[in-house]
Chain A
Amino acid sequence: MNTPVIEVRQLYKTYALEGVDVHALRGIDLRIDEGEFVAIMGPSGSGKSTLMNILGCLDVGDSGSYRLQGQDVSAMSADQLAAVRNHQIGFVFQNFNLLSRTSALENVETPLIYAGLGLAERRQRANDALRRIGLGERANNHPSQLSGGQQQRVAIARALVTNPSLILADEPTGNLDSATSDDIMGVFDALHREGATIVLITHEHEVATHAQRILEVRDGQLLEKAA
Chain B
Amino acid sequence: MNWGSALQLAMRALWRNKTRAMLTALGVIVGVAAVIAMLSIGAGAQQRITKTMDDLGSNNLVIRPGSVSRGGVRKGAGGRTSLTRDDAVAIADLREVVAVAPSVRSSAQVRYRGSNWGTAIEGVTEDYAEVRRWSVAEGDFISEQQVRSAAHVCVLGQTVSRELFGLASPIGEILVVKGTACRVVGALQPKGATAWGTDQDDAVFMPITTVQRKLMGINYVNRIDVSTVGREASFRVLDNVKRLLRDLHRLGPKRPDDFRVFNRAELAQSSEESARVFTWLLGSIASVSLLVGGIGIMNIMLVSVTERTREIGIRMALGARRRDIQWQFLLEALLLSGAGGVLGIALGLGGANAVATFSELPVIITPSAVLIAFLFAVLVGVFFGLHPARKAAKLRPIQALRYE
The reply to whether A114 and B317 contact each other, CB–CB distance below 8 Å, is no
Q: Tell me how far the C-beta of A112 lies from the nearest C-beta in chain B, rounded to whole angstroms.
A: 9
The reply to whether A79 and B321 contact each other, CB–CB distance below 8 Å, is yes
Which parts of B300-345 form the interface with A (CB within 8 Å)?
310-311, 313-324
Given A59-B398, A97-B401, A99-B311, residue A158 in contact with residue B319 (CB < 8 A)? no
A185 to B319, CA, bound (A): 25
The reply to whether B1 and A116 contact each other, CB–CB distance below 8 Å, is yes
Q: Tell me how far the C-beta of A46 lies from the nearest C-beta in chain B, rounded to whole angstroms.
A: 17
The reply to whether A114 and B401 contact each other, CB–CB distance below 8 Å, is no
Q: Tell me how far the C-beta of B187 lies from the nearest C-beta in chain A, rounded to whole angstroms.
A: 78
Residue in chain B with minimal CB distance to A91: B317
Q: Does A76 contact B (CB under 8 A)?
A: no
Given A116-B1, A118-B2, residue A111 in contact with residue B398 (CB < 8 A)? no
Residue in chain B with minimal CB distance to A86: B319
Which parts of B190-233 form the interface with A (CB within 8 Å)?
none
Which residues of B sit under 8 angstroms from A97, Cβ to Cβ? 310, 313-314, 317, 401
A99 to B314, CA, bound (A): 8
Q: Does A180 contact B (CB under 8 A)?
A: no
Given A113-B1, A113-B5, residue A101 in contact with residue B318 (CB < 8 A)? no
Which parts of B1-57 form the interface with A (CB within 8 Å)?
1-2, 4-5, 9, 12, 16
Interface size on B, residues (CB 8 A): 24
Residue in chain B with minimal CB distance to A111: B318
Residue in chain A with minimal CB distance to B9: A113
Q: Does A75 contact B (CB under 8 A)?
A: no
> Of B314, B315, B398, which contacts A53 at CB under 8 A?
B398
Which parts of A65-98 form the interface with B (CB within 8 Å)?
78-79, 82-83, 85-87, 91, 93, 97-98
Which residues of A sit under 8 angstroms from B319, Cβ to Cβ? 82-83, 85-87, 111, 114-115, 162
Residue in chain A with minimal CB distance to B311: A99
> Of A78, A86, A113, A118, which contacts B322 at CB under 8 A?
A78
Which parts of A98-128 form the interface with B (CB within 8 Å)?
98-102, 110-111, 113-116, 118-119
Which parts of A25-56 form the interface with B (CB within 8 Å)?
53, 56
Q: Tell me how far the C-beta of B21 lies from the nearest C-beta in chain A, rounded to whole angstroms.
A: 15
The reply to whether A82 and B401 contact each other, CB–CB distance below 8 Å, is no
Q: Does A58 contact B (CB under 8 A)?
A: yes
Q: Tell me how far the C-beta of A167 lies from the nearest C-beta in chain B, rounded to whole angstroms.
A: 13
| A-B CB contacts (within 8 Å), total count | 66
Residue in chain B with minimal CB distance to A59: B398
Q: Tell me how far the C-beta of B179 lies from the nearest C-beta in chain A, rounded to whole angstroms.
A: 99
Which residues of A sit under 8 angstroms from B1, Cβ to Cβ? 113-114, 116
The reply to whether A114 and B320 contact each other, CB–CB distance below 8 Å, is yes
> Of B12, B324, B397, which contacts A114 at CB under 8 A?
B324
Q: Tell me how far the C-beta of B89 lies from the nearest C-beta in chain A, rounded to whole angstroms.
A: 84
The reply to whether B4 and A119 contact each other, CB–CB distance below 8 Å, is yes
Residue in chain B with minimal CB distance to A56: B317
Which residues of A sit under 8 angstroms from B315, Cβ to Cβ? 110, 114
The reply to whether B2 and A114 contact each other, CB–CB distance below 8 Å, is no
Q: Tell me how far the C-beta of B168 lies from the nearest C-beta in chain A, rounded to whole angstroms.
A: 83
The reply to whether B318 and A110 contact each other, CB–CB distance below 8 Å, is yes
A98 to B318, CA, bound (A): 11
Residue in chain B with minimal CB distance to A78: B322
Q: Tell me how far the C-beta of A59 lies from the nearest C-beta in chain B, rounded to whole angstroms.
A: 6
Q: Tell me how far the C-beta of A175 lies from the nearest C-beta in chain B, rounded to whole angstroms.
A: 14
Which residues of A sit under 8 angstroms from B323, Cβ to Cβ? 79
Residue in chain B with minimal CB distance to A84: B319
Q: Tell me how far the C-beta of A207 lies from the nearest C-beta in chain B, rounded to whole angstroms.
A: 21
Given A53-B398, A99-B311, A118-B2, residue A83 in contact with residue B321 (CB < 8 A)? yes
The reply to whether A85 and B16 contact each other, CB–CB distance below 8 Å, is no
Given A99-B311, A114-B324, residue A158 in contact with residue B318 (CB < 8 A)? yes
Q: Tell me how far the C-beta of B113 lies from the nearest C-beta in chain A, rounded to whole angstroms.
A: 93
Q: Tell me how far the C-beta of A84 lies from the nearest C-beta in chain B, rounded to whole angstroms.
A: 8
Which residues of B sit under 8 angstroms from A99, Cβ to Cβ? 311, 314
The reply to whether B322 and A79 contact each other, CB–CB distance below 8 Å, is yes
The reply to whether B401 and A58 contact each other, CB–CB distance below 8 Å, is yes
A52 to B397, CA, bound (A): 13
Residue in chain B with minimal CB distance to A168: B317
The reply to whether A82 and B316 contact each other, CB–CB distance below 8 Å, is yes
Q: Tell me how far the C-beta of A104 lies from the nearest C-beta in chain B, rounded to whole angstroms.
A: 14
Counting chain A CB atoms within 10 Å of each CB, the highest count among B310, B319, B320, B401 belongs to B319
Q: Tell me how far the C-beta of B318 lies from the nearest C-beta in chain A, rounded to whole angstroms.
A: 4
> Of B9, B311, B318, which contacts A85 at CB under 8 A?
B318
Residue in chain A with minimal CB distance to B400: A58
Q: Given A58-B316, A114-B1, list of 18 further CB < 8 A pairs?
A: A53-B398, A58-B401, A59-B398, A78-B322, A79-B322, A79-B323, A82-B322, A86-B318, A86-B319, A91-B317, A99-B314, A101-B16, A110-B314, A111-B319, A113-B5, A113-B9, A114-B320, A115-B319
Q: Which 4 A-B pairs have the closest CB atoms?
A: A86-B319, A114-B319, A82-B321, A111-B318
- On B, residues with C-beta under 8 Å from A are 1-2, 4-5, 9, 12, 16, 310-311, 313-324, 397-398, 401
In the assembled complex, 25 residue pairs joining A and B whose CB atoms fall closer than 8 Å, in A order, are A53-B398, A58-B317, A58-B398, A58-B401, A59-B397, A79-B322, A82-B316, A82-B319, A82-B322, A83-B321, A86-B318, A86-B319, A87-B319, A97-B310, A100-B311, A101-B16, A110-B314, A110-B315, A110-B318, A111-B319, A113-B1, A114-B1, A114-B319, A115-B319, A116-B2
